[in-house]
Amino acid sequence: MRLADLEVDLLAPGVDLDADTGVPELLENLLRHEDGESVTAEDIAAVLAWQLLTGTPDKIPSALIDKSIPEFDLPALPGWDEGLTSADVAEGGVSLVNVFASWCGPCRVEHPLLMAIAAEGKLPVWGLNYKDQPSDATRWLNQLGDPYTQIGSDLNGRVGIDWGVYGVPETFVIDHQGRIVYKHIGVLTRADWDEKILPLIESLSD
């Protein structure tokens, strides 16, 4: 079942597409996205389940805010020349670190936005591939596109633990001193980017 098959139900009377929860807004954005056919009903169900179970997951505080990024050195995925280290991130200026996995339905939902952010070229987008089989991650990126400047394979999740990862997806904003200044838990939406993260990035870049 594909997203197009759900359009009537999602836009039925009583569904508030401007609700503060952000979930209906996310679904509306998916319906309008020209690549929306690639998002399955299972992906949407995963987003809804995440919101129902966690309420407002992006409000969970992080003990690492305003602290230097944890040290790490991760190998590359098969077919990629470089892995990812803490030095890459710390020396990369203002940037994003996105935690993702091929088995993560919500990661697929936010992926078109990450591709758009990467295409704008405003900042590096580092990928932390979390508890994923490298071959699966490679296949996933070859299918959907690679928005990442570099990717590290965190196969056993140890680096994710050091970063305080609750689950996937998660996105961190890093400042020019290599400190974590913002953490977003859950699907990154266009509204999150335009209203929260992009203004923060622009203020850090001034």
What number is the average pLDDT over the span 154-179?
96
Q: What domains are defined for the chain?
A: 3-55 (no CATH), 58-205 (3.40.30.10)
Confidence of residue 205 (pLDDT cuts 50, 70, 90): confident
Asked whether the predicted pLDDT for residue 171 surpasses 60, the reply is yes
Q: What percent of the chain has pLDDT over 70?
A: 70
Q: Pick the residue with more confidence: 101 or 9? A: 101
pLDDT for res 45: 57
pLDDT in the model for residue 166: 86
- Closest alpha carbon to 144 in 116, 174, 124: 116
pLDDT for 185: 93
Cα 176 to Cα 43: distance, rounded to the nearest angstrom: 34
Mean pLDDT to the nearest integer, 90-114: 97
pLDDT of residue 21: 38
pLDDT score of 83 more than 90: yes
Tens of pLDDT, residue by residue over 24-46, are 444 444 444 444 445 555 655 55
User: What's the one-letter identity of residue 176?
Assistant: H
Interval 120-166: pLDDT, tens: 999 999 999 999 999 999 999 999 999 999 999 999 999 999 999 98
